[in-house]
Amino acid sequence: MLWGYLRRFVSDGGVYLDITKGISLGCPLSPLIGALFLKPLDDRMAQLGCFYVRFMDDWVILAPTRWKLRKAIKATNQVMNELKVLKHPEKTFIGRIASGFDFLGYWFSTSGLGIARKTVERMVENVARLYEHGAPIERIEAYFQRWWRWVKGGISVKLLRVFPSSETQLEIGLTRPPGSRVGGHGQLTDECTKA
């Protein structure tokens, strides 16, 4: 059964190619295999005495001293080399907690928890894409409602801050060129205004 999930074929212009590496996108075993694959990293971090949390292939290491942090970075690099895995340079941040950081779509800082700017930007891009493709307003609203439920699932709305280091709120307005019909092409504008 496991072999059936790992072995797959892809059609490329009528020619079937046997894919021998990686896991199929959407494979039900993918989360399990992904979680187990980095178990050596979990074990190594447990030995170091740093705060470490991981969700699939995203993790955070917090260390009380620079020395412990360097030790954790060295251990992480060793495990990644042993597993033949590369760290994504854009997703790697090493710095002070006071600067704040993104993790799983949220913004963590000494002043609290909020939505990461990148998360909001991605949502606005998705809404714009739906709008540009003529999606009905009900579909756009349904997408936004699902996104908002996800946001509220990880953070108290009373404590919600949309962007770090400022008190802003996001206003999204859909505008249509004069004479265009519903579902036609238009523009998505986003404005950040002081609350």
Summarize pLDDT for 147-162 with one digit per residue, the tens. Answer: 999 888 877 666 555 5
* Residue whose entry in the numeric block shows the structure tokens 């519903």: 182
Contact 59, 79 (CB under 8 A): no
Contact 122, 131 (CB under 8 A): no
Largest CA distance in the chain: 66
DSSP alpha helix (H) spans, the chain: 2-6, 30-37, 39-48, 66-83, 117-132, 137-154
| Residues 6 or more apart in contact with residue 189 via CB below 8 angstroms | 172, 173, 174, 175
User: Residue 118, Cα to own-chain centre: how many angstroms?
Assistant: 9
The residue that leads in pLDDT, 189 or 25, is 25
Does the structure show a pLDDT above 60 at 104?
Answer: yes
* Residue whose entry in the numeric block shows the structure tokens 């992904």: 34
Overall size of the chain counted in residues: 195
The residue that leads in pLDDT, 111 or 72, is 72
* pLDDT in the model for residue 164: 46
* pLDDT in the model for residue 24: 67
Mean pLDDT for 122-139 is 92
Q: What residue type is 82 in one-letter code?
A: E
